[in-house]
Amino acid sequence: MDRRELIKTITLLTGAVMVGGEVFLTGCTNSTKTGLSFTPATISLLDEVAETILPATTTPGAKAAAVGAFMQVMVTDCYTKAEQEVFMTGIKSLLEKAEKMYGKSFMECSPEQKHDFLLSLEKEAKAFNEKKDAAEKQEKEIAKAARQPFTGAPPHYYTMMKQLTLWGFFTSKTGMTETLRHNPVPGSYDGAYPYIKGDKAWAE
């Protein structure tokens, strides 16, 4: 799957522009290291969030692709300081909300509870992002008219986690070779290649 197409797909699926999208494509090393604290427990939590978003079925899920560790690298090396702050604060918020909703940690919740909890965060993120976009609309138009770059505030932290989950999984060896149909050496274009309902997408 072409990476630019993947970014477009992730943007559509999450309802927000891919955070750091262009940076991911060109390679990134954040020159302003902020000493982010990603403990083994944090990585395990992110793995579990990712696995709830993309669970294992007949093919491996996000945890098998080590998406938690991927998030650590991307947030540390590719996110701006503002985006990093939202993401790290979001981890704490996720833990607190899960504890408040179920009286136990997210990691202790059943798969069904984790699923329902993330659905509640999905709705919260959608409302947050829509409100943010509406508030920034005029500023964006002014910047466009003045031919000046515009940088809006980061989206909801759950949106960022979901984007990184999709990006990390579908660019991993596991995602490309075991979930997508992998073509290690692209062949000639066949515009009339037969499609069978249920076929996996191709990865190159």
Is the per-residue pLDDT at 23 higher than 70? no
pLDDT tens for each residue of 115-174: 999 999 999 999 999 999 998 888 888 888 888 887 788 999 999 999 999 988 888 777
In SS3 terms, 68-134 reads as HHHHHHHHHHHCCHHHHHHHHHHHHHHHHHHHHHHCCCHHHCCHHHHHHHHHHHHHHHHHHHHHHHH
132 class by beta-carbon count within 10 Å (0-12 exposed, 13-18 middle, 19+ buried): middle
Residue 195 has pLDDT above 90, yes or no: no
Q: Residue 183 has what pLDDT?
A: 36
Identify which has the larger pLDDT, 189 or 117. 117
Task: Indicate the helix (H) or strand (E) that contains 203.
Answer: strand 202-203
The mean per-residue pLDDT over the stretch 13-26 comes to 66
- Establish if 200 belongs to a structural domain: no
Whether residue 129 is contained in a domain is answered as: yes
Domain limits for position 45: 3-178
Average confidence score pLDDT of the chain: 81
Phi/psi for 62 (5° steps) reads: -65, -30
pTM of the model: 0.76
Among 111, 88, 56, residue whose Cα is nearest residue 102: 111
Does a structural domain hold residue 197?
A: no
| Residue 183 belongs to some domain of the structure | no
Among the listed residues 158, 7, 154, 5, the one whose alpha carbon sits nearest the alpha carbon of residue 71: 158
How many domains are there within the chain?
A: 1
The HSE-up count of residue 99 (CA atoms within 13 Å, CB side) is: 7
Please determine, for residue 201, whether its predicted confidence score (pLDDT) is greater than 50: no
Give the Å distances, CA to CA, from 63 to 54, 159, 166, 169, 204. 8, 18, 12, 9, 22
pLDDT confidence of residue 187: 42
21 found inside a domain: yes
Report the pLDDT value the prediction gives residue 203, as an integer from 0 to 100: 43
Answer yes or no: is 85 within a domain: yes
Please tell me the predicted confidence (pLDDT) of residue 2: 59
Question: For residue 13, which amino acid is it?
Answer: L
Q: Is residue 195 part of a domain?
A: no
Reported as a single tens digit per residue, the pLDDT across 57-66 is 888 899 999 9
Confidence tier at 87 by pLDDT (50, 70, 90): very high
Q: With bands split at pLDDT 50, 70 and 90, how would you rate the model's confidence at 73?
A: very high
Residue bearing tokens 């799957």:
1
Convert the pLDDT of each residue in 37-52 to its tens digit.
899 999 999 999 999 9
Domain assignment of residue 187, yes or no:
no
